[in-house]
Amino acid sequence: MAQPTLDTFQVIADPSRRKMLMLLTEDSLTINSLAENFDMSRPAVSKHIKILYSAGFISIQDIGRERYCTLKQDGFNELRKWISYFDGFWISKLKNLETLLNNKLTN
């Protein structure tokens, strides 16, 4: 199993890798099928796939002569934690605003 060794935000910073992740939300795809969606060489697509794999965003399964890519939750955990921190921040701010507005209405 690949261990996350790359910075998650650097991995998703590349628009091609984000598009690959979006394409994989539909179904598992072969590397060749993914490559058909990009105007880049097959080795360049493979490089992006290796990065996504190393970061835990996808798994790769060999079936016959094809290599299938499938989304995994692992790579998204760091993103989820980071976003949830800001969810808490905004919930707190909105509750403070609600309290302030309620106090003004009752006065």
Statement: residue 102 has pLDDT above 60:
yes
Helices 15-23 and 42-54 cross at an angle (nearest 10°) of 80
pLDDT of residue 106: 84
pTM for the complete prediction? Answer: 0.78
* Rounded Cα gap, residues 84 and 65, in angstroms: 41
Q: To the nearest whole percent, how much of the chain has pLDDT over 90?
A: 65
Domains by residue range for the chain, with CATH: 8-80 (1.10.10.10)
pLDDT of residue 88: 86
* Rounded Cα gap, residues 54 and 50, in angstroms: 6
